[in-house]
Structure 1
Protein backbone atom coordinates (compact mmCIF):
# COMPACT_ATOMS: atom_id res chain seq x y z
CA UNK A 1 0.00 0.00 0.00
CA UNK A 2 1.30 3.40 -0.83
CA UNK A 3 0.33 6.20 1.58
CA UNK A 4 -1.24 3.72 3.98
CA UNK A 5 -1.01 6.18 6.86
CA UNK A 6 0.58 5.86 10.24
CA UNK A 7 -2.28 4.51 12.37
CA UNK A 8 -1.81 0.86 13.17
CA UNK A 9 -4.65 -1.61 13.37
CA UNK A 10 -4.14 -1.87 17.12
CA UNK A 11 -4.40 1.92 17.53
CA UNK A 12 -7.54 2.02 15.39
CA UNK A 13 -9.18 -0.74 17.42
CA UNK A 14 -8.26 0.97 20.71
CA UNK A 15 -9.70 4.28 19.50
CA UNK A 16 -12.88 2.61 18.26
CA UNK A 17 -13.29 0.80 21.58
CA UNK A 18 -12.81 4.03 23.55
CA UNK A 19 -15.38 5.86 21.43
CA UNK A 20 -17.83 2.97 21.70
CA UNK A 21 -17.53 2.90 25.50
CA UNK A 22 -17.92 6.68 25.73
CA UNK A 23 -21.09 6.61 23.63
CA UNK A 24 -22.44 3.56 25.47
CA UNK A 25 -22.09 5.36 28.81
CA UNK A 26 -23.86 8.40 27.38
CA UNK A 27 -26.71 6.25 26.10
CA UNK A 28 -27.08 4.50 29.44
CA UNK A 29 -27.42 7.84 31.22
CA UNK A 30 -30.21 8.83 28.84
CA UNK A 31 -31.90 5.41 28.85
CA UNK A 32 -35.45 5.20 30.12
CA UNK A 33 -37.00 1.73 30.20
CA UNK A 34 -40.65 0.91 29.59
CA UNK A 35 -40.94 0.28 33.32
CA UNK A 36 -39.51 3.72 34.12
CA UNK A 37 -41.98 5.36 31.72
CA UNK A 38 -44.90 3.41 33.22
CA UNK A 39 -43.93 4.42 36.77
CA UNK A 40 -43.61 8.05 35.73
CA UNK A 41 -47.02 7.92 34.03
CA UNK A 42 -48.66 6.33 37.08
CA UNK A 43 -47.15 8.97 39.37
CA UNK A 44 -48.39 11.70 37.05
CA UNK A 45 -51.89 10.23 37.03
CA UNK A 46 -51.88 9.90 40.82
CA UNK A 47 -50.76 13.52 41.17
CA UNK A 48 -53.54 14.64 38.81
CA UNK A 49 -56.13 12.68 40.82
CA UNK A 50 -54.89 14.19 44.08
CA UNK A 51 -55.18 17.70 42.67
CA UNK A 52 -58.86 17.22 41.79
CA UNK A 53 -59.78 15.84 45.25
Structure 2
Protein backbone atom coordinates (compact mmCIF):
# COMPACT_ATOMS: atom_id res chain seq x y z
CA UNK A 1 0.00 0.00 0.00
CA UNK A 2 1.37 3.43 -0.92
CA UNK A 3 2.21 5.82 1.88
CA UNK A 4 0.18 9.02 1.94
CA UNK A 5 2.37 12.05 1.24
CA UNK A 6 2.98 14.41 4.13
CA UNK A 7 1.93 17.72 2.63
CA UNK A 8 3.73 19.71 5.30
CA UNK A 9 7.00 18.04 4.24
CA UNK A 10 6.20 18.54 0.55
CA UNK A 11 5.73 22.27 1.15
CA UNK A 12 8.62 22.49 3.59
CA UNK A 13 6.61 23.90 6.49
CA UNK A 14 6.12 22.67 10.04
CA UNK A 15 2.84 21.10 11.16
CA UNK A 16 2.04 24.14 13.29
CA UNK A 17 2.37 26.51 10.32
CA UNK A 18 -0.34 29.11 9.87
CA UNK A 19 -2.53 29.23 6.78
CA UNK A 20 -0.55 32.25 5.61
CA UNK A 21 2.76 30.36 5.93
CA UNK A 22 1.34 27.39 4.02
CA UNK A 23 0.02 29.63 1.24
CA UNK A 24 3.34 31.49 0.99
CA UNK A 25 5.27 28.20 0.79
CA UNK A 26 2.93 26.92 -1.92
CA UNK A 27 3.22 30.10 -3.99
CA UNK A 28 7.01 30.15 -3.67
CA UNK A 29 7.32 26.51 -4.76
CA UNK A 30 4.78 26.94 -7.55
CA UNK A 31 6.85 29.78 -9.00
CA UNK A 32 10.13 27.87 -8.62
CA UNK A 33 8.87 24.54 -9.96
CA UNK A 34 6.39 25.55 -12.65
CA UNK A 35 7.08 23.35 -15.71
CA UNK A 36 6.89 26.31 -18.10
CA UNK A 37 10.18 27.56 -16.63
CA UNK A 38 12.07 24.45 -17.82
CA UNK A 39 12.95 22.77 -21.09
CA UNK A 40 14.12 19.33 -22.14
CA UNK A 41 14.56 16.60 -19.52
CA UNK A 42 14.37 19.14 -16.69
CA UNK A 43 10.78 19.89 -17.70
CA UNK A 44 9.68 16.31 -16.98
CA UNK A 45 11.23 16.45 -13.50
CA UNK A 46 9.65 19.84 -12.87
CA UNK A 47 6.23 18.49 -13.92
CA UNK A 48 6.52 15.63 -11.42
CA UNK A 49 7.62 17.94 -8.59
CA UNK A 50 4.91 20.48 -9.47
CA UNK A 51 2.25 17.75 -9.38
CA UNK A 52 3.38 16.78 -5.87
CA UNK A 53 2.78 20.27 -4.51
CA UNK A 54 -0.56 20.70 -6.29
CA UNK A 55 -2.20 17.53 -4.96
TM over 0.5: no
Q: TM-score, normalised by structure 1?
A: 0.39
Who wins on radius of gyration, i.e. which is larger? Answer: 1
Q: TM-score, normalised by structure 2?
A: 0.38
